[in-house]
Amino acid sequence: MALEQLSDVVQRCQALPDDSYSSEDHDVFTIAGRSCIEEGHAPQVLSIVLDEKNQNVVGSMGWSLLPPLVQVLLRKDDKHLPQCLAIFNHLLEACRPKELLIGLLELLEHDDADRIAESLHLLLTPLQKVLLRLGGRKASSLGMTLSSVLDQLAKLPVPDTKEQEEDDVFSLGRCCADLARFVGPFAEEARLNQSSGNQPRKSHKTAGGQEEGAEDELRTELLKFCMKTLSQPLLDVQIWHPDTLPVSPLRTFAAEILDILGAVGESLSGLVFHPLLKKKEVPGFLEEEVRYPKNSLACLAHLVFVHHLAADTFPSVFSPIFCLRSNMEHISILLSRTETSRLQKGLELYEKSLVRVEDGSLPADLLEIRTFLTVPQSLVKVMTICPKHDLRTKGLKVFQLSIDKFNTEAKYRFFQYMLRTSNHSGVEGYIIKNIKNQIDAALQPGNGNIWFEGLHLLPLLRKVFSLPDGPETDLLQYLDSRVMESLNLLRYLVIRDKVTENQTGIWTELYKIEDKFLKPLRVGVNMSRAHYERELQDTREKKKKNAKEESVLSVSVGGEKLPKMTSESQIQALHSALHTFDMIESVLVRIEELVEVKDGLETAGEPQLLRA
């Protein structure tokens, strides 16, 4: 029945002029033709399609047969697969390319990862053939195709491990390889246009101007494709080093994207250093933010500086500090995100940018640049709240590396800024430890400097020797970091700096430290100890009352409930807290003893500087 209907409508349309077929003719051809293929009459359909008398009809309406043909080609197990393939290939040559393009792009749309991968593998080559048939009018159609393909590619999972990429478990590697082959001829055409001297210019209403406009449009679409690809999937995937994964389709794909950027006339160094270099305006090309998305440029910088892709095309004349300044914009973008892949790339790019810089060479005026302050704040978030331990550890390593690169004044100002803004006791404790190391270096013979001795040092010490909330400060929260590091620094200064020399100014500042830090700290320790001793006593009494049951208790400290646990665990936690207060008190007592001894030995007859 369907075969007869198809034959009838084709015969009827043979006598009609081109493009004069009715909508009814189109509907009958579509329904009957698809039914024939689905019912196994592909050999007969092939005969009709190949008949010379039917070429006008096939050229006008044949594209509507694509859906059942593609279904057979995807299944690969149909007995009429060769005939369906022959029909499919003939339609690619006989039908109008615009209609073929729309039909093929509709068939790309899937949600299942396996279907997406198989469809891309099957249809990218036919799409390439169709686009090439468009000649100089293909740029906008190419852009639409690339956008659709990348939307599908974005639905594929990204491999998390080297083994997953090796096995290509999500088919992302194969799809990227297929995409690179698809875009190859168009990139080569753009490269030839560049090499022939046809630089992009504003179009004119002449034949030559029209051709120049087409070249501009091709460049535009390829550049948009590269930028979108850098943003996804390349910003999300992990690129493995060749020593770890010798054959990597994703690394190869990334290198090919960088090559296409060169083909369309983009300088990789110009793109990487875009934040610092003012790009020349190209009339009628693209708006700046659309042309060079920040996420894409950040990914590009990571590929160039971390993986050294396209290193042979990248000039080596830029100083390490210039590279760092430019990359800080990219690093800021990456570290401001929460995705693991972005954070890892940000840390890697920051580390690679820093290692090339000489220790102690970054001047203090760099801290007037916004990113040199926002990036450390982002690092703090990575170090403190990132769920992945390896990223937290890496963040701390890079944080210290960044400190090492500052000169003495820059370190001083950076420490001031971090103590003022970090709002995290662990980070503040780490900064205080660094301050101690800088003071120790300054006190070595021949190493003196104005920033970690004398008058400049005192404002920094005043920030260190303070309690955020006075005696009510939560000492458990601040113990392991801020309070203990502050006490360790004070003990060091009392031991290291002689009263008669007073290089750090600690001996003239000690009475202020006593009033604003040590006294409130003693009160806080006593208050906290009394509170926890009372909680310990209450918990022991509850344990006795509920000795026959394995009770689960909830203890409140400072108005907040601790996590529920057994009474024995609660008792252990409270003992640990009390031990903490003993530690603080022992250091306080030791500092008092040291002050009394040095005061007695070196300033005999003078009033005590530290009051008991």
Per the listing, tokens 């491990």 go with 161
Q: In this predicted model, what pLDDT tens digit does every residue of 114-134 receive, in sequence order?
A: 999 999 999 999 999 999 999
> pLDDT exceeding 90 applies to what percent of the chain?
65
Q: How far apart are CA 480 and CA 249, in angstroms?
A: 47
Q: In this predicted model, what pLDDT tens digit does every residue of 5-29 receive, in sequence order?
A: 999 999 988 888 877 788 899 999 9
Q: What is the model's pLDDT at position 484?
A: 87
**Confidence grade of residue 561 (pLDDT, cut at 50, 70, 90):** low
Highest mean pLDDT among 263-272, 406-415, 588-597: 406-415
Give the global pTM: 0.86
**Confidence grade of residue 575 (pLDDT, cut at 50, 70, 90):** low
Q: How far apart are CA 344 and CA 373, in angstroms?
A: 19
**Confidence grade of residue 476 (pLDDT, cut at 50, 70, 90):** low
Domain ranges of the chain: 1-95, 425-545+565-599
Q: What is the model's pLDDT at position 610?
A: 45
Q: Residue 551 has which token pair?
A: 């009770």
For the cut 70, the answer to whether the pLDDT of residue 206 exceeds it is no
Q: What is the model's pLDDT at position 601?
A: 59
For the cut 80, the answer to whether the pLDDT of residue 579 exceeds it is no
Annotate 177-224 with DSSP letters as a single string. Answer: HHHHHHHHHHHHHHHHHHHTT-------SSHHHHHHHHHHHHHHHHHH
- Label residues 340-365 b or e (16+ Cβ within 10 Å = b): bbbbbbbbbbbbbbbeebeeeebebe
**For range 234-242, the mean pLDDT:** 93
Alpha-carbon torsion (562, 521, 431, 481), positive or negative: negative
Q: How far apart are CA 603 and CA 516, in angstroms?
A: 24
Annotate 16-53 with DSSP letters as a single string. Answer: SPTT---HHHHHHHHHHHHHHHHTT-HHHHHHHHH-GG
Per the listing, tokens 């750090």 go with 504
Report DSSP state, residue 362. B
Q: Residue 405 has which token pair?
A: 């690169």
Q: Residue 286 has which token pair?
A: 């693209």
Q: What is the model's pLDDT at position 542?
A: 73
Q: How far apart are CA 460 and CA 452, in angstroms?
A: 9
Q: In this predicted model, what pLDDT tens digit does every residue of 246-279 receive, in sequence order?
A: 999 999 999 999 999 999 999 999 999 987 775 5
Q: Which residue has the higher pLDDT, 291 or 56?
A: 56
What are the CA-CA distances from residue 597 to residues 486, 495, 497, 592 (Å)? Answer: 21, 10, 13, 9
**For range 548-566, the mean pLDDT:** 53
Q: How far apart are CA 104 and CA 63, in angstroms?
A: 9
Cis peptide bond prior to 283, omega within 30° of 0:
no
Q: In this predicted model, what pLDDT tens digit does every residue of 478-525 receive, in sequence order?
A: 555 788 899 999 999 999 998 888 999 999 999 999 998 998 888 888
Q: What is the model's pLDDT at position 612?
A: 33
Task: For the chain, count helices (H), then strands (E).
Answer: 28, 4
Q: Residue 504 has which token pair?
A: 């750090």
**For range 531-555, the mean pLDDT:** 64
Q: Which residue has the higher pLDDT, 539 or 291?
A: 291
Alpha-carbon torsion (367, 370, 375, 380), positive or negative: positive
**For range 378-398, the mean pLDDT:** 95
Q: What is the model's pLDDT at position 288?
A: 65
- Return the minimum-mean-pLDDT range out of 256-265, 327-336, 456-465, 476-485: 476-485
For the cut 80, the answer to whether the pLDDT of residue 377 exceeds it is yes
Q: How far apart are CA 568 and CA 539, in angstroms?
A: 9
In this structure, which amino acid lies at residue 226? C
**For range 359-380, the mean pLDDT:** 96
Q: What is the model's pLDDT at position 602?
A: 56
Please state, rounded to an integer, the average pLDDT across all residues of the chain.
86
Alpha-carbon torsion (50, 54, 60, 66), positive or negative: negative
Asked if 265 and 194 count as a contact pair (C-beta separation under 8 A), the reply is yes
**For range 569-581, the mean pLDDT:** 69
Q: How far apart are CA 160 and CA 162, in angstroms?
A: 7
- Return the minimum-mean-pLDDT range out of 23-32, 82-91, 329-338, 543-552: 543-552
For the cut 60, the answer to whether the pLDDT of residue 200 exceeds it is no
Q: Which residue has the higher pLDDT, 154 or 479?
A: 154
Q: Residue 164 has which token pair?
A: 């997953």
Q: How far apart are CA 117 and CA 187, in angstroms?
A: 23
Q: Residue 316 has which token pair?
A: 């080596």
Q: Residue 184 has which token pair?
A: 């190859």
Q: Give kind and range of the element (H or E) at residue 429.
A: helix 425-442
- Return the minimum-mean-pLDDT range out of 6-15, 200-209, 333-342: 200-209
**For range 160-181, the mean pLDDT:** 94
**For range 24-37, the mean pLDDT:** 93
Would you tell me the crossing angle of helices 425-442 and 371-385 to the nearest 10 degrees?
120
Q: Residue 123 has which token pair?
A: 């249809």
Report DSSP state, residue 95. S
* CA 251 to chain CA mean position, Å: 17
